[in-house]
Homo-oligomer: A and B are copies of this chain.
Amino acid sequence: MEPRDFATDNCSIARTLGVVGEKWTFLVLREVFRGVRRFDDIQAVTGAPRQVLTDRLAALVDHAVLRRQPYREPGRRERHEYRLTDKGLDLYPVLLALLAWGDRHVPAPDGPALRVEHRDCGAEVALHLRCAAGHDVAAMREVAPRPGPGARPRSTHHE
């Protein structure tokens, strides 16, 4: 079996995990989405070891999920902060999905620490499945996985 660079195997999930699959990455992203953008703040709030944080941030910048944005507060030296790119912003559904699952299946004793609201009406926002024809998809039963154009056969099967 070839080296199987788990990040580039023929599967979008695996490739995604190659970008955001490391242990602290999601926690870092969670903070950046919250507006925490500076190294020391992220470090303090996630508790990630500095070295690891350095690595993760560098990797995320490398993958264009974050970009380093120089800024300077008046009377201060130039600094930089980490901001989401469009590619990074598109990870929001992943975070929301993780959040929703956690709220539901590993709830905190005193209730969720975070509500995600619709800005206009204040109602809670959640993820839903819908097909391109506009039908709501209520249960997993209603969806079917099909091989796409890039599908390659896989040897192991049992059915």
Q: Which residues of A contact B (CB under 8 A)?
A: 1, 4, 6, 10-19, 21-23, 26-27, 30, 34-38, 41, 44-45, 47, 87, 89-121, 123-133, 135, 137, 140-152, 154-156, 158-159
B118 touches A150 (CB 8 A): no
Chain B residues in 8 Å Cβ range of A125: 129-132, 137, 143
Chain B residues in 8 Å Cβ range of A110: 149-150
Give A1 Cβ to nearest chain B Cβ, in Å.
6
Chain B residues in 8 Å Cβ range of A103: 12
Chain B residues in 8 Å Cβ range of A91: 101
Chain B residues in 8 Å Cβ range of A95: 13
A88 to B111: give the CA distance in the assembly, Å. Answer: 21
